[in-house]
Amino acid sequence: MMELIAGMMASPAIYPVVFVLALLDAILPIVPSETVVIAAAVFAVSGVPSLPLIIVLAAVGAFVGDHIGYALGRWLSRRRPGGRLARAAARVAPHLHRRGGALIIAGRFVPGGRTAVVTAGGATGYPLARFSLFTAVAAALWATYSGIIGLLGGAAFEANPAMGLLAGLGIAMGVTLAGEVIRRLRASRKASREASRRADLATQPAPELVR
C-alpha cells in the first residue's frame, strides 16, 4: 500500500490531483483534499514532490472551488427562492454580513463548514469582492497549514513515511477536535449568559406606570 502511495507522490500527476481535489472539496465535503495535501507534504521531505508547488496548487484549487460554490449558491437561491437552501441562507445571512471574514476563514477549518459558508455567501448575495479577498486568505492559510503539518510528520519520521503520514493526520485531527471543543464551549457559555440575562430580566419588578 505504501509503495503505491509513494509511487503516486513521486508522479507528476500528484500536482493536478491536489488542485482538483482542493477544488471539489468546496462542493463535496467528503473529498479528502486535506489528507492528500498532508500526504504529499510528508513525502516532500525527501524532495519529491515539491512542497511549495503543492501548497500553491492546493490554495489555488481551494480558491477556485470556493467561487464555484459561491456561484452555485447564488444560482440555487434564484432558481428555488423558497427552497431549503434559501431558508438556511436567510438564517445565516445576518451572521455572514456582520462577520463574514471571520466565518469564511474559520469555516475552512471546520468539517463541512467550507461548503456551508461559501454556498450561503452566494445565496445571500455577500459582496463578491469581499468574498474573494477572505477566501483567498482562507485558502492560503489552509494550504500552508496542511503543508506544514505534513512536513512536520515527514521530518519526524523521515525513515518511515507511513508513520509520518499517521503523525500528520493525527496532528490535523487533534487540531480540528480542539477547535470544535473550543467552539462548543464558547457557544455553551454564550447560551448560559443569555439564559442568565433573561432570568434576571424576568425577576425584575415591572416598572410603575406614571400617572
Query: What is d(CA 143, CA 54) in angstroms, rounded to the nearest whole number?
Result: 8
Q: How confident is the model at residue 169 (pLDDT cuts 50, 70, 90)?
A: confident
Is the Cβ–Cβ distance between 74 and 118 less than 8 Å? no
Model-level pTM?
0.80
Is the Cβ–Cβ distance between 150 and 42 less than 8 Å? yes
Query: What is d(CA 191, CA 200) in angstroms, rounded to the nearest whole number?
Result: 14
Task: Give the other-Cβ count within 10 Å of 83's Cβ.
Answer: 13
Task: Give the other-Cβ count within 10 Å of 179's Cβ.
Answer: 13
Task: Give the other-Cβ count within 10 Å of 190's Cβ.
Answer: 10
What percent of the chain lies above the pLDDT cut of 90?
29
Q: Is the pLDDT of residue 187 over 80?
A: no
pLDDT tens, residue by residue, 71-91: 998 888 888 766 676 666 667
